[in-house]
Amino acid sequence: MTSETRDNKILVSMSHTREIEITEELQINLKIPKNLGSIQVVKVYFNRQNEDPCIIKEMSKTKEENNFIEYEVMVSFLPFHRYENYFFFFSFVSNGREFYIKLNRDTMEPFITTGESPYWRILVIQSNFTVPYWSKNAVFYQVFLDRFFNSQNKKPTIIDGRNYRNWGEMPNWQKNNNGQFHNNDFFDGNIKGIEEKLNYLKDLGVDVIYISPINYSTYRYERYAVTDHMQIDPDAGDFADLDSLHKKANKMGMHIVLDIAFNHCNSDNPIFKNALNNPYSKYRNWFYIYENGTYEYWYGIFKDMPIFNQSCYEYQQYVYGENGVIDKYANYVDGFRLDLAEELQPFFLKGIRDRARTNGKLLLILGECWNKAPCQILGNGLDCITNYPYANAVLKYIAFGEAVYLKWQVFDIIESYPQNTLDTMLNALDTHDTMRALTILSMKRVRNGLNNIWDIDKDPSEWHIQTEHGRDFLTEEFRKFEFQNDKLSNEEYAFAVKKLKIAFMLLGTLPGNLCVFYGTEKGLHGFKDPFNRKCMDWENGDKNLEEFFRNYLHFWKTFKGSKIDIKFLYLDSEFVMIEVKNSYNSMLTVLNRKEYDIKIEIPKKYIETTNKRIFTENADVGILHELGGISIIIW
């Protein structure tokens, strides 16, 4: 990286660009003009976020030439063993006074100051951080298994206690006979169903199929609370089905990533029941069980989801020891998505990743992260993450024109993650845990000012009441609202589709992989669980929207390599022009989020070159119509 100036200005150069492996040394060269006077001491100061300097090194004078004096220093981060951003600046003493060399906020060039200003930064990352070749520039497709496709070519099963439903019915949102909200609605989507839709997924442009959990879970259709990790749920299929899907997908150039939950299990899990009922059980230490018979469970709310003790050696061996859960599935998949990765300890994540990479395997480890992931687990426990910050920023921009928030979130992630994580993180507009993007962009009860745009049920809301015990949430009233307002009018739907398209184009311009939540491409909409998890509508889905996704995904995949250099050429609440490029190619995306036409001037290089591909949505090269956009890739 070089911050170069002319005419006796300061020059800073570094041996590495934005990141460095912890085992490497960073060489920094600093050229200072002689006209600054007699310089006695030059130092460089490094600190981590919100910390005092942890590295202070005096720089050595190496040579004098023309009007400059050059200084050099070698910096090692290995003694600190911390993987994260290090910020640095320089100081020098001249004529008895101390001055600082920092970055000018406006020009981002070196300048001399005695006050506060931005620093340079370098991201210190794990050594030998590698990811599978197929996990970059890839389109992921999230399959929520029970609701994707119900193939009849599987062994028939009927499990007592499950509420089997007809395909396409509205999921049950009311309390059961015990007065509980329970995820016991089974529509019987299965592994064979995915296999029978491989041609559809391939044609859509999908490279990686990310499947929700398939482990046996007694009464939970989503299978995030597991009754038996070692068994595939009979309604989902069996290992022969998984093997067949994996081999056929690989043969077609697609890969399989399997979701799995290790933070907690189902209270029906025999291991937990044994631990709970027997104080001397060998499994007792697998959980947090107290003498009075109480135990810790997920979020302090879901009593049927007891939390595992990750510090328990026996539980660790169960998950990532020889013949453990990871070994059980490793030959049938190409990677794992770890549910609640933010709740899994770094040593536990590392154990999973290390086991998934034994015997020559290079499985992708994807972690569910709602917030910015700490750098120390990237390349050491996780390869990539579910990138909710980008989804939130893009949706907020398209819905409300929050331009500053968009730009801040984009660069905050870029500056915080290793390049391999940036290249492989999943960028999706919606998932099984958020409102559907179409419902968000229809603006039904979506309000500005929320931390996450989909958090319409966060306090304060009309579903929160004050009681003598505090604030209570009226779950049944909220679900009733979701049910009554689920359907979009023709006008609401058409408006939301227009915004969805430009939101997806903006998301596709940012670093990372694109991920489509099943059915978004066909117009599925809905509020939160269970309404965002309706059955895939294979017969009546929106064909025009599906065609948009197919065309854009194939266009997007022509951009090769990392999206390294990112610039907002223009950004306000109505209009954005953003460019990303590397040494191979460049992409320009221009979007109009308002309901009137905007004339645009495309940079000449995107017009004059013949080596380009153009994607337009309600736009021409010289004009963006309402909620229109254009993307151009050149090489």
Question: Does residue 314 register a pLDDT over 90?
Answer: yes
Least confident range of 7-16, 285-294, 522-531 = 7-16
Question: Does residue 470 register a pLDDT over 90?
Answer: no
- Indicate the CATH number for domain 137-263+308-386: 3.20.20.80
- Cα 404 from Cα 410, distance rounded (Å): 10
Pick the CATH number of 565-634 from 2.60.40.1180, 2.40.30.170, 3.30.70.270, 1.10.1740.10: 2.60.40.1180
The tokens describing 497, both together, are: 């589709």
Question: Does residue 126 register a pLDDT over 90?
Answer: yes
Q: For residue range 138-150, list pLDDT tens digits in order.
A: 999 999 999 999 9
More confident residue, 7 or 10: 10
Q: For residue range 556-605, list pLDDT tens digits in order.
A: 999 999 999 999 999 999 999 999 999 999 999 999 999 999 999 999 99
Chain centroid to CA 95: how far? 51
Whether the CA torsion 41, 42, 46, 50 is positive or negative: it is: positive
Mean pLDDT value of segment 286-302: 94
Contact assessment for residue 110 and residue 177, using Cβ atoms and an 8 Å cutoff: no
DSSP 472-501: EE-HHHHHHHHHHT-SPPHHHHHHHHHHHH
Question: Does residue 264 register a pLDDT over 60?
Answer: yes
Question: Does residue 1 register a pLDDT over 60?
Answer: no
Q: HSE of 357 in the Cβ direction (CA atoms, 13 Å)?
A: 18
- Cα 470 from Cα 480, distance rounded (Å): 23
Q: For residue range 379-428, list pLDDT tens digits in order.
A: 999 999 999 999 999 999 999 999 999 999 999 999 999 999 999 999 99
What is the pLDDT at residue 4? 38
Least confident range of 30-44, 259-273, 282-296, 321-335 = 30-44
pLDDT band of residue 542 (cuts 50, 70, 90) is very high
Backbone angles phi, psi at 133, to 5 degrees: -60, -35
What is the pLDDT at residue 7? 52
pLDDT band of residue 5 (cuts 50, 70, 90) is very low
Q: For residue range 156-173, list pLDDT tens digits in order.
A: 788 999 999 999 999 999
What is the pLDDT at residue 546? 98
pLDDT band of residue 6 (cuts 50, 70, 90) is very low
Mean pLDDT value of segment 176-189: 85
Domain edges within the chain: 2-125, 137-263+308-386, 565-634
What is the pLDDT at residue 106? 86
- Cα 509 from Cα 511, distance rounded (Å): 7
Domains 2-125 and 137-263+308-386 in one fold: no
What is the pLDDT at residue 183? 81
Nearest in space to 349 (alpha carbons), one of 387, 380, 388: 380
Mean pLDDT of the chain, nearest integer? 95
Question: Does residue 3 register a pLDDT over 80?
Answer: no
What is the pLDDT at residue 276? 97
Pick the CATH number of 2-125 from 3.10.20.30, 2.60.40.10, 3.30.930.10, 3.40.640.10: 2.60.40.10
